């Protein structure tokens, strides 16, 4: 898919926001939602989205919802650090298919990294155990300030 197109309200993240699909929630406020990636590139991989914005990518996002998503991304990244004690944290965001974007609802990846451990492949690894994701979500959520 190109950078241009029409937002699809049936995308998986929109379904999660509406409660039509389950997720291991880490954090939620009036505007944003953070939840565990079911195809994690590393243990503790979290996704952050805006709940009502219909931007497919960064280039389409309005200022106010982008600010809300960035505040939540920082808040959750701090909690990931406190809960999981990684050596580093990668914050990633993809725009268009050629960049690796697979869900066309603007989202940010928070990926804990450990020295010497390779990063899993984006959107192509195996699905994580829901119980493990729920445990990770609880540990991270407990550190949100």
Catalytic positions are: 107
d(CA 135, CA 137): 5
d(CA 142, CA 137): 8
Nearest residue to 35 (alpha-carbon basis) of 18, 22, 52, 53: 22
- The 8-class DSSP code of residue 26 comes to E
d(CA 134, CA 145): 19
């Amino acid at each position: 898919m190109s950078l241009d197109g029409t937002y699809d309200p049936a995308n998986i993240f929109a379904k999660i926001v509406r409660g039509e699909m389950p997720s291991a929630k880490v954090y939620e406020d009036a505007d944003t939602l953070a939840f565990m990636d079911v195809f994690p590139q590393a243990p503790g991989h979290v996704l952050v989205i805006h709940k009502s914005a219909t931007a497919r990518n960064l280039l389409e996002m309005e200022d106010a919802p982008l600010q809300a998503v960035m505040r939540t991304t920082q808040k959750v990244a701090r909690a990931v650090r406190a809960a999981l004690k990684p050596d580093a944290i990668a914050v990633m965001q993809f725009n268009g298919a050629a960049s690796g974007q697979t869900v066309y609802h603007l989202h940010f990846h928070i990926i804990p990294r450990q020295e010497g451990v390779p990063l899993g492949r984006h959107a192509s690894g195996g699905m994580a155990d829901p119980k493990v994701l729920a445990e990770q979500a609880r540990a991270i959520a407990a550190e949100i300030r």
